[in-house]
Amino acid sequence: MLRLVANRVLQGVFVLLVVSVITFALLSAAGGDALSEVSGDPMVSAGAVAEMRRVYGLDRPAPVRYALWLADFPRGRMGYSFHYHAPVSTIIWPRLLRTLVLAALALALAWSVALALGVQAARRAGSLWDRASEVLILVASSTPRIVLALAALAVAARTALFPVGGGGEGAGVSFARALPPAVVLAAPLVALFLAQTRENLRDALAADFVRVARAKGLPERAVVLRHALRAALNPLITIFGYSLGGVLSGSVIVETVLDWPGLGSLSVEAARHRDVPLLMAVVMLTAAAVLAGNLAADILLRLNDPRLRDDDGDRARRRRSSSSATRDAAATPTV
């Protein structure tokens, strides 16, 4: 497990480096900077704008600016936000917390609904549970998130059943305010998890090891939850690692429509005002969160399936034996 974590961390550092290079190159190629709006103000002279560009280093070539940013970022210095007139680190951490709350709540809702309905649908093929799961999969997968977000906004405005919005920059995380955007984010995940749960569990219930467990006289609840469901979880855990990226990308629309102050709405503001340091920080933290989700999925897979741990151990032993044989061959004198 430690070898797995170390390999994934090294791969993640390389991926983040590539992401930072591509993102900075695209932002530089787009042209303009955070002072472009100021330069159009007739009250600000061209000399003042040029001096501000010099002070903030915006007049330097793009490779130099990227090298300076890369040297500061690992030490937690993410730059200065020209739009908010504050260090990026003081702006982004509260926003990241709010988006992670949404992501965690959306994943928890999607898993709960998918497992509860998927188990019933797999056990009772052709029943009302099965038909309801088919309808839910169709509706949840075919409805765009922006439509769901607008529907939630309309319901909130007409019924006042739940508040909408984050309550301002200084407000804490509220479950009541987080629930509507979390439900909207969870809808496509429910369709994905539910379809996988129903099909995988249905296949597992028809497997030989389940017949053996039933023949031993185990209760049906234990057969389904302890044996069949555990065998059906591997694809779901794999999908969980990749679904975090979908949640974070979908949060851009959902947070903007439902007025939730997270990373999604912050990225829109940063792109609108060409705030490169802020946008770079958003992209890097989002990529790091996706990599962390994939690592968590790999760990959960090995905790759920001992065969994967055995395979990792066999590969490690083969590498050790191969390297030992190579050393012995190199140390053997030749005639």
272 and 167 assigned to the same domain: yes
Q: pLDDT averaged over the chain? A: 84
106 and 73 assigned to the same domain: no
Is residue 329 very low, low, confident or very high in pLDDT (cuts 50, 70, 90)? very low
Is 160 a domain residue?
yes
- Between CA 96 and CA 255 the distance in angstroms is 12
**Is the pLDDT confidence value at 135 over 70?**
yes
Is 326 a domain residue?
no
120 and 185 assigned to the same domain: yes
Place of tokens 């629930």: 179
Selected residue with higher pLDDT from 82 and 134: 134
134 and 233 assigned to the same domain: yes
- CA angle in degrees (0–180, nearest 5) for 25-27-29: 65
Tens digit of pLDDT for each residue in 16-68?
Answer: 999 999 999 998 888 777 777 676 666 777 777 788 888 778 888 889 999 99
Tens digit of pLDDT for each residue in 316-327?
Answer: 556 556 555 555
How many domains is the chain partitioned into structurally?
A: 2
pLDDT at 335: 42
Is 35 a domain residue?
yes
Tens digit of pLDDT for each residue in 194-221?
Answer: 999 999 999 999 899 899 988 988 898 8
26 and 153 assigned to the same domain: no
pLDDT at 138: 92
122 and 202 assigned to the same domain: yes
Is the torsion defined by CA of 272, 277, 278, 284 positive or negative?
Answer: positive
Is 66 a domain residue?
yes
24 and 160 assigned to the same domain: no
The span from the first CA to the last CA of the chain, in angstroms, equals 43
Is residue 232 very low, low, confident or very high in pLDDT (cuts 50, 70, 90)? confident
Q: What is the pTM of this model?
A: 0.81
Tens digit of pLDDT for each residue in 278-318?
Answer: 999 999 999 998 899 889 888 888 888 777 766 665 555 56
Q: Which string of b and e fits 198-217 if b means at least 16 CB within 10 Å?
A: bebbbebbeeeebeebeeee
Average pLDDT over residues 6-23: 94
pLDDT at 328: 52
DSSP string for residues in 119-179: HHHHHSTTSHHHHHHHHHHHHHHHS-HHHHHHHHHHHHHHH-SS--S--STT----HHHHH
CATH number of the domain residue 96 falls in: 1.10.3720.10
